[in-house]
Amino acid sequence: MLPDPAATALAAAVDIHATGCRTTDVRGAGALIAGGFILTAAHVVSGAVSITVRPATPGADAITAHLVAIDPVHDLALLDVDPNELAELRPLDVGAGAAAGAGDTGAAVLFRDDAAVVVPYRIAKPVIVRILDIHHENTVSRPGYEVDIAIAAGDSGAVMVATGGHAIGVLYAKSREADARAFASDTGAVNALVAAASGVDAAVGIDTGECV
């Protein structure tokens, strides 16, 4: 029997708060992946002075995290935390790029009033989006998905979990043309991020760069 994507997504999900770029926290979502890193959207944590993550478990405490890898082209980032603080979470395996197709379904975890909500999604189609990088400096090609799911501010970084139980995408923007449609990067660039993060001192992290 295939894993339940809703339960699998919930067991890995975290709520993210980043401070330093605005008068209020920048909020996002993410998930623990194999290797012990938190996968999220780069624009959620770029420029942050401090970052905390909170597991989806009710009553869980916020935990300090450090940025250890960032990809402004694909809008992906990895955070590192003390693994003992996330013992209750179950890491996701990460699928290859373009691992899903039109009509495929799964689940993502969004946060509403600090409570985790599991939301189903359906992939409308795989896409390669021509878009500015997160710093609005260069036009890039970003492979990913157009997704049938309703998201709002603070949902960027939520990880899409497929029916097979693996991570296949990271939500980064709401569609301007349809209320219940969003865009996600695929996970093809995650392995390179993991490799980059492996040589970083997790207790310090890397420079978060400029606010976006």
In a 10 Å sphere around its CB, with 0-12 CB exposed, 13-18 middle and 19+ buried, how is residue 110 labelled?
Answer: buried
Regarding whether 87 and 12 lie in a shared domain, the answer is yes
- Report the domain count for the chain: 2
Examine residue 152 and state whether it is found in any structural domain, yes or no: yes
Regarding whether 72 and 147 lie in a shared domain, the answer is no
Regarding whether 177 and 130 lie in a shared domain, the answer is yes
In a 10 Å sphere around its CB, with 0-12 CB exposed, 13-18 middle and 19+ buried, how is residue 24 labelled?
Answer: exposed
Over 90: is that where the pLDDT of 97 sits?
no
The tokens 């760069």 sit on which residue?
A: 209
* Mean pLDDT of the chain, nearest integer: 95
List, in sequence order, every residue forming a beta bridge with 107; answer none if it has no partner: 120, 161
Examine residue 99 and state whether it is found in any structural domain, yes or no: no
Chain segment 132-150, per-residue pLDDT in tens:
999 999 999 999 999 999 9
Chain segment 158-212, per-residue pLDDT in tens:
999 999 899 999 999 999 998 899 999 999 999 999 999 998 999 999 999 999 9
The domain of 160 spans: 105-187
Examine residue 80 and state whether it is found in any structural domain, yes or no: yes
CATH code for the domain of 57: 2.40.10.10
Regarding whether 148 and 170 lie in a shared domain, the answer is yes
Regarding whether 174 and 113 lie in a shared domain, the answer is yes
Contact present, 50 and 63 (Cβ < 8 Å): no
Chain segment 106-121, per-residue pLDDT in tens:
999 999 988 999 999 9
Regarding whether 85 and 24 lie in a shared domain, the answer is yes
Regarding whether 118 and 181 lie in a shared domain, the answer is yes
Examine residue 204 and state whether it is found in any structural domain, yes or no: no
Examine residue 96 and state whether it is found in any structural domain, yes or no: no
